[in-house]
């Protein structure tokens, strides 16, 4: 099973470098509106909005959700408080993603959030989204 948590910040005028400096955390990915990048398929895409993302995977390859929450807490500390109020942030969320390979012979996904875990996630002051996927992808088995 693959587990990861991402913190996403979006905004038309979002300046990723400024967000990095304010948070004191290096992003996993960041781009300003209008920036172009080339995908592995050689297709060039232009960012329609500025984005700043910190993702716990692949730095942490644990399937335990609490481990990912602890990484966020330790990395951001109090700088992660109410990130939705940072300059030029128009939208933000904490995204909890879990993927289960069909090869695992599982038909359900179980996770729990303790009051402490919820408190750590709530410090960001943004919505929390949960996504669970069942897939045939091989990368999941290699990341457990």
- Number of Cβ within a 10 Å radius of residue 143: 17
Q: Using pLDDT thresholds of 50, 70 and 90, give the confidence band for residue 144.
A: very low
Closest to 94 (Cα-Cα) out of 140, 53, 38: 53
How large is the average pLDDT for residues 58-73?
94
Residue with the two structure tokens 């592995």: 40
Pairwise CA distance, residues 112 & 109, whole Å? 10
Q: Using pLDDT thresholds of 50, 70 and 90, give the confidence band for residue 94.
A: very high
Whole-angstrom CA distances from 71 to 61, 76, 79, 99, 121 are 11, 8, 14, 19, 11
Is residue 139's pLDDT more than 60? no
Model confidence, pTM: 0.89
Task: Give the mean pLDDT of the chain.
Answer: 91
Is residue 106's pLDDT more than 80? no
Residue 24 — left, alpha, or beta (φ > 0 → left; ψ -120 to 50 → alpha)? left
Is residue 138's pLDDT more than 90? no
């Amino acid at each position: 099973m693959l587990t990861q948590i991402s913190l996403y910040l979006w905004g038309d005028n979002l300046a990723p470098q400024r967000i990095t400096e304010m948070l004191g955390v290096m992003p996993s990915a960041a781009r300003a509106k209008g920036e172009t990048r080339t995908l592995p398929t050689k297709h060039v895409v232009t960012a329609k909005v500025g984005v700043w993302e910190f993702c716990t995977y692949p730095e942490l390859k644990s399937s335990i959700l609490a481990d990912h929450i602890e990484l966020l807490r330790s990395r951001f500390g109090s700088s992660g408080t109410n990130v939705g109020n940072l300059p030029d942030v128009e939208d933000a969320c904490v995204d909890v993603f879990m993927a289960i390979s069909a090869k695992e012979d599982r038909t359900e996904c179980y996770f729990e959030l303790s009051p402490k875990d919820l408190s750590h996630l709530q410090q960001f002051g943004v919505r929390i989204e949960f996504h669970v996927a069942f897939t045939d992808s091989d990368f999941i088995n290699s990341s457990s």
